[in-house]
Amino acid sequence: MDQVYVRPERCMGCRSCEIACAVQHSRSKTLFGAIREEPLPQKRIFVEAAEKIRMAVFCRHCDDAPCLAACITGCLYRDEKGFVRRKIERCIGCWSCIMACPFGVIIRDRRKRTAVKCDRCHELDVPACVAACPTRALVLVDVDALPKEKRRQVVLREAEGA
Amino acid sequence: MGVVVIGSGIAAVAAVQAMRANRYEGEVTLVTNDEPPFYYRPMLPSLIDGSKTMEEILLTVDPVADFGAELVKGTVQGVNCAAKTVILSSGDVLGYEKLLVASGSSPSFPQIKGLDAEGVFTLRTMKDALGLCSYLQRTDVSKAVVIGAGLVGVRTAEALRRRGLAVTLVERLPTILYPVVDQVGAAIVASRLQKAGLEVIVGARAEQVLCSDGKVAGLRLASGEIPAEVVVVATGVRPNVGFLEGSGVDCRRGILVNPYLQTSQPDIYAAGDVVEYLGLLEDEPIVSPLWTTAVATGKVAGTNIAGGKMRCEEFLPVMSAAEIGGLPVIAAGLVAMEGNGYEVFERREGENYRKLVFKGDTLAGVLFVGEVEGAGVYVSLLKAQKRVGGLKRQIAARRLTYAQLVGSSGDD
Ligand SMILES: Cc1cc2nc3c(=O)[nH]c(=O)nc-3n(C[C@H](O)[C@H](O)[C@H](O)COP(=O)(O)OP(=O)(O)OC[C@H]3O[C@@H](n4cnc5c(N)ncnc54)[C@H](O)[C@@H]3O)c2cc1C
């Protein structure tokens, strides 16, 4: 499966990923259309800055996804590609997924009272955030193709924020 | 033979899923007295206000079709550990190699008179919900009383109100939703409920369900009488362990288990609401009647039944999310705890309220009312009992982000 990884040392905090994400999840799917939409489309990726680090934080479509286990309505499910997605008509806005997500990347659609999360742009080959990143801080990695040791390093590097 | 599972709730389903994921290919038989067997129990209030139909809250996985489980309808009356059999009330006997008890819990009732009147309901099963709905369709029902202002009571009261009934919510404790929210949070939420037209009475003990002609006529409190045609009792739940009496499976309040969710009988496992297990924040074993706990324990038990060796995470008494009176609420751990070596950070702006309870260097309680985004970062810190040391003030002062955790790892 292709996974999105972040290389924090390359992130300039330009928020191109956030904009691309919101546009991709807008009705018009263009920047000029999106900014005029009412309500504004919501992003599902968040550039966060802390003292020693700046990075985009986003859904990992975890193997053992806590949001999926917490969903009490059958809204969240894992699709055939392995992405954790929503059957939006089932969401009642109980926010159990927000409680469960350790990355804090599930948010509310306040108008519809439903949970909003990354769908990995399942209809695109390359997710909008990755395509938009000018410094390749966000990269798409086929984790299955990586040798185990390399995979471990990628994960470790990310966890250490190095 | 093979594996027998008592129950068809989410713990049972998660267990069967885990057995198959761990390549157990033998027989699995689920015994249940729930009809229909598989549905989203927390969605039952949506039937009361009509926002969902029964079909819409059926489980999206089907253990029979998806995992080749067999379904037996019936009530388990006893377990014979020596013969390794389960005895049904029909007299039928099922042999097992391994048994999983996932029998969940049932409503517990206050010791008051009149509970046998027509018009007294609980909300635990689909049958309960459908029974209540059909009773409400009778034209002479316009006023309801809900006893117990826990999450189930509050959500049921709201659903009844949305359906157009006049609803009074009666709580014995001085605040609603204890111990999911503290006093401040309870006041914020209660005022929302009142705005939605609910009458909320706290610090009041229900004394008797009043009847006329065998039907509910109201509820008597020490302070007076509330007229009503329907009473819903929502005063908590108790694990379903009655059928294990004398079996040799050790129980206290729930079934006692080791970290692999084995009971005192090595071939018998337990999962879900029925389990009593080590608390993360307490020195005592506790029950944790929550969806997330049922899913997690089901997975552990199923994995181990299939030959794996997975440890169960310690239990939390509170781990809840809900929207109440239109206001999101997320709570975990010991939220209402004060004093006694706990350090509390609170922040309130209007209806937005956030409270963090620390014990030493670790989080012991998290409560978000209103703006709940990002609450999961805190909840995961609490669950991991991660020492936050130098980060404590920062965490309390502003919104903790995942990047902050990554940025600070290795230097606390
Ligand atoms: C209205 C409502 C709202 C809720 N909302 C939330 C929420 O928002 N978040 C949350 O975390 N939790 C919530 N809960 C709690 C949650 O639903 C339970 O913790 C969870 O469903 C427990 O699953 P379980 O499989 O352990 O038990 P159960 O779902 O109770 O399943 C037990 C099964 O065993 C069967 N059984 C029991 N005894 C026998 C017997 N002797 N013979 C045969 N079969 C038997 C029962 O019929 C049942 O099918 C809610 C509960 C209710 C009632």
| B313 found inside a domain | no
Instruction: Dig out the tokens for A37 from the structure.
Output: 């939409």
Please identify, among B191, B217, B233, the residue that sits at the C-terminal boundary of a domain. B233
A54-102 tens-digit pLDDT: 999 999 999 999 999 999 999 999 999 999 999 999 999 999 999 999 9
Fold of A62-103+110-115: Alpha-Beta Plaits (3.30.70)
Q: Which helix (H) or strand (E) holds A33?
A: helix A31-34
Candidate from A53, A87, A98 with C-beta closest to B373: A98
Q: Where are the domains positioned within chain A?
A: 1-59+118-162, 62-103+110-115
Same domain, yes or no: B356 and B264? no
Please identify, among B233, B252, B281, the residue that sits at the C-terminal boundary of a domain. B233
Kindly determine whether residue A98 and residue B376, on different chains, have CB atoms separated by under 8 Å.
Answer: yes
Residue B369's beta-bridge partner residues? B329, B353
- Taking the Cβ of residue B323 and every Cβ of chain A, the question of whether any pair is shorter than 8 Å is answered with yes
Please identify, among B193, B213, B233, the residue that sits at the C-terminal boundary of a domain. B233
CATH no. for residue B326?
3.30.390.30
Ligand 1: distance of its center to the CA of A1 in Å? 35
A35-44 tens-digit pLDDT: 999 999 999 9
For chain B (412 residues), the mean pLDDT of every run of 10, in chain order, is 96 98 98 98 98 97 97 98 98 98 98 97 98 91 97 98 97 97 97 98 97 97 96 98 97 98 98 98 94 98 98 96 97 86 92 94 96 95 90 78 75 38
CB A4 within 8 A of CB A130: yes
Q: Give, in degrees to the nearest 5, the angle at Cα B127 between B126 and B132.
A: 100
Same domain, yes or no: B134 and B30? no
Ligand 1 atom 8: residue of nearest CA: B42
Decide whether any atom of ligand 1 lies within 6 Å of the B106 Cβ.
Answer: no
Same domain, yes or no: B245 and B393? no
Instruction: Dig out the tokens for B330 from the structure.
Output: 């997320």
Instruction: Dig out the tokens for B14 from the structure.
Output: 């998660």
Same domain, yes or no: B196 and B344? no
Q: What is the residue type of B181?
A: V
Provide the pLDDT confidence category of residue A156 given band limits of 50, 70 and 90.
low
Total domains, chain B? 3
Q: Which domain holds residue B338?
A: 319-407
Cis peptide, bond prior to residue A39, ω within 30 of zero: yes
User: What is the 3 state secondary structure string of chain B?
Assistant: CCEEEECCCHHHHHHHHHHHHCCCCCCEEEEECCCCCCECHHHHHHHHCCCCCCHHHECCCCHHHHHCCEEEECCEEEEECCCCEEEECCCCEEECCEEEECCCEEECCCCCECCCCECEECCCCHHHHHHHHHHHCCCCCCEEEEECCCHHHHHHHHHHHHCCCEEEEECCCCCCCCCCCCHHHHHHHHHHHHHCCCEEECCCCEEEEEEECCEEEEEEECCEEEECCEEEECCCEEECCHHHCCCCCCECCCEECCCCCECCCCCEEECHHHEEEEECCCCCEEECCCHHHHHHHHHHHHHHHCCCCCCCCCECCCEEEEEECCEEEEEEECCCCCCCCEEEEEEEECCEEEEEEEECCEEEEEEEECCCCCHHHHHHHHHHCCCCHHHHHHHHHCCCCHHHHHHHCCCC
| B127 found inside a domain | yes
Kindly determine whether residue A99 and residue B330, on different chains, have CB atoms separated by under 8 Å.
Answer: yes
Contacts B52 to A, Cβ<8 Å: 92
Ligand 1: distance of its center to the CA of B150 in Å? 16
In chain B, which among 103-132 make CB contacts under 8 A with chain A? none
| B46 found inside a domain | no
Smallest Cα distance from B211 to chain A, Å: 36
Same domain, yes or no: B21 and B77? yes
- Taking the Cβ of residue A107 and every Cβ of chain B, the question of whether any pair is shorter than 8 Å is answered with yes
CATH no. for residue B279?
3.50.50.60
- Taking the Cβ of residue B292 and every Cβ of chain A, the question of whether any pair is shorter than 8 Å is answered with yes
pLDDT at site B411: 40
Same domain, yes or no: B275 and B332? no
Q: Which residue, among B401, B404, B411, would best test binding to A if mutated, counting the most A CBs under 10 Å from its CB?
A: B401
Contacts A116 to B, Cβ<8 Å: none
Q: What is the residue type of A148?
A: K
Decide whether any atom of ligand 1 lies within 6 Å of the B13 Cβ.
Answer: no
| B7 found inside a domain | yes
Ligand 1: distance of its center to the CA of A142 in Å? 40
Q: Which residue, among A58, A85, A95, would best test binding to B if mutated, counting the most B CBs under 10 Å from its CB?
A: A95
Same domain, yes or no: B226 and B160? yes
pLDDT at site B147: 98
pLDDT at site A50: 83
Q: Which residue, among B22, B47, B48, B60, would best test binding to A if mutated, counting the most A CBs under 10 Å from its CB?
A: B60
| B52 found inside a domain | no
Cα B167 to Cα B231: distance, rounded to the nearest angstrom:
10
pTM across the whole model: 0.96
Cα A93 to Cα A73: distance, rounded to the nearest angstrom:
10
CB B143 within 8 A of CB B227: yes
Candidate from A57, A95, A159 with C-beta closest to B403: A57
